[in-house]
Amino acid sequence: MNTPPPPQSSRGSVRTAVLAAALCLLLAACSGSGGSGLDASADADADGAQSGGTKVVLITHGGQGDSFWDLVRKGARAAAAKDGIDLTYASDSDPAKQAQLVRDAVGDKVDGIAVTLAKPQAMKGPVADAKAAGIPVVGLNSGVDAWRSQGLLEYFGQDESLAGRAVGDRLDAVKAKHALCVIHERGNVALEARCAGLKKTFTGQTEMLYVEGTDLNAVNAAVTAQLRQDPSIDEVVTLGAQFALTAVESVKASGSRAKVATFDLDKNLVKAVRDGDVQFAVDQQPYLQGYLAVDALWLYRTNGNLSGGGVAPVLTGPAFVTRTNVAAVARFAAAGTR
């Protein structure tokens, strides 16, 4: 025998209960952004995918307004979107403050941390805290010689010493005699390694010039003064794309005949290489570094995968971009993936 349908009032109650339950679920999904030790404004923002998913924090030493780190973040966001990761980005060029950002992430009980080791000693304690809390940590961009000793799972970036040596060889090939290597952040192990590597292989004279990278006007003035003081300098090597463009201005202002070469690449530098204002750029592929670091944490937590077996770095550079091959790179640089 068929059961009669419930009275109208009973069916209305069922509909009301279903709607109430749906509303509760909707409200729950929209919440979940409560207090956190990581500031979700200014230099830290949620780039995330799904609320309540795997929570990963990318913590770098990048300064405000540096286009290089925009590329790193773009790659990280792409990986987070693919993997359904709730991603937060935070940075501070002060090593003590960067270390505190890592401690904040540990306190927030995130599921994974990707971090740069520009000043490895400052990060040693916070990384150890993360490990003790059972939070997997991977490295990127800076610290190729420190990531294993500090117990990071994987590393994605460029071997800066190797890249520097490659630049030294290239300067010999173009018959340069006196190189000025401009270091825009004193004590940054990656930048120091680049100039040290150059000096190892370059048979000409290598001179270091330390400048304050947060002030491009000061960089311009310092390089201009050095070129005026020593006309024998025939090559200026900078360690970031924006500094190369500044060095081009310095060469013109000083009346020097020096050429400009650089590490790192962006869409503005692509034009400078194409126009012949910059001889070449060493591309370490920052987009790829951000992408691989975030994706690696998802792969480790999901499958136990370890790129490089956990014993070898995954190298993203060096790749030389010159006037002869810049056209092939240009469209990717314009899209923000090179």
For residue 46, what is the enclosing H or E element? strand 44-46
Pair (129, 98) in one structural domain? yes
Contact, 182 vs 238, CB < 8 A? yes
User: Number of structural domains, the chain?
Assistant: 2
Query: Which value, in Å, is the radius of gyration of the alpha carbons in the chain?
Result: 25
Pair (250, 179) in one structural domain? yes
Q: For residue 117, what pLDDT is reported?
A: 97
The answer as to whether 23 is a domain residue is no
Pair (216, 329) in one structural domain? yes
Pair (329, 206) in one structural domain? yes
Report strand pairing: 86-91 vs 44-46.
antiparallel
The answer as to whether 98 is a domain residue is yes
Spell 195-206 as b/e; 16+ CB within 10 A means b.
Answer: bbbbbebbebbb
Each of the 338 residues of the chain gets a pLDDT tens digit; together they read: 444 444 444 444 434 443 344 444 333 333 333 334 464 333 445 564 444 589 999 999 998 778 899 999 999 999 999 999 999 999 999 999 999 999 999 999 999 999 999 999 999 999 999 999 999 999 999 999 999 999 999 999 999 999 999 999 999 999 999 999 999 999 999 999 999 999 999 999 999 999 999 999 999 999 999 999 999 999 999 999 999 999 999 999 999 999 999 999 999 999 999 999 999 999 999 999 999 999 999 999 999 999 999 999 999 999 999 999 999 999 999 999 99
Cα-to-chain-centroid distance, residue 35:
26
Q: For residue 64, what pLDDT is reported?
A: 75
Pair (166, 153) in one structural domain? no
Contact, 127 vs 115, CB < 8 A? yes
Q: How far apart are CA 34 and CA 46, in angstroms?
A: 12
The answer as to whether 32 is a domain residue is no
Q: How far apart are CA 268 and CA 263, in angstroms?
A: 14
Q: List the 280-283 sheet strands across, edge first.
A: 205-210, 178-183, 235-238, 259-263, 280-283, 319-322
Q: For residue 29, what pLDDT is reported?
A: 36
Report long-range pairs for 304-310 (Cβ below 8 Å, ≥24 apart): 306/153, 306/154, 307/154, 307/156, 308/154, 308/155, 310/153, 310/154
> Residue 271's closest CA among 326, 328, 335?
326
The answer as to whether 168 is a domain residue is yes
State which residues form the domain around 180: 160-283+323-334
Pair (228, 328) in one structural domain? yes
Q: For residue 37, what pLDDT is reported?
A: 47
Q: How far apart are CA 209 and CA 21, in angstroms?
A: 65
Q: Is the peptide bond before 120 cis (omega within 30 degrees of 0)?
A: no
Q: How far apart are CA 294 and CA 280, in angstroms?
A: 30
CATH of the domain at 53: 3.40.50.2300
Residue type at position 223: V
Q: How far apart are CA 239 and CA 33, in angstroms?
A: 38
The answer as to whether 8 is a domain residue is no
Q: For residue 47, what pLDDT is reported?
A: 60
Q: For residue 11, what pLDDT is reported?
A: 40
Pair (89, 111) in one structural domain? yes
Q: For residue 116, what pLDDT is reported?
A: 98
Residue type at position 132: A
Pair (329, 208) in one structural domain? yes
> Residue 287's closest CA among 250, 319, 311, 253?
319
Q: For residue 45, what pLDDT is reported?
A: 52
SS (HEC) of 104-139: HHHHCCCCEEEECCCCHHHHHHHHHHHHHCCCCEEE
